[in-house]
Structure 1
């Protein structure tokens, strides 16, 4: 059976961060910027969740291939690319948060 060590830790937008963003958006002019930043974070979170689902699916495919005696080299290569995509989305999310905090 394929043993893949993936970090399934997914840091969603915390309630505290959302509350903080909401508190700082009292004036009408700041609201669109905060709203847009929240949308970017939500999009990154969605991409992360979808990437995690694709990874889990690919792992199941590889496990099935192993059980049926098929070679898995290409499927494992695809798995590596999916892992890289997930990591890139996590980095993107971290950059969004870092940019937001640096502007405060």
Structure 2
């Protein structure tokens, strides 16, 4: 957004309660109402593009860590060959996910 005058203005009507909530959020992070609306719209579009919300991504990371902890405590000798293979595959994937979310 190089020149703000090159962008056509767009009048936006919104309920009073929404506007006051956005104004309060903007004030809390030191932005103008306009900048807050743009930041939230951009964040929403990025989330749409990724297809995953932050909560879902956090949940995936936690599940991967839980899988690794449970796999470490499991007596692999009590599993069938197929179950061991499945556990090994799940553990590999969980390690990759955990590494992605830890760094």
Instruction: Give the structure with higher Rg (CA).
Output: 2
Normalised by the length of structure 1, the TM-score is: 0.40
TM-score, L = length of structure 2:
0.41
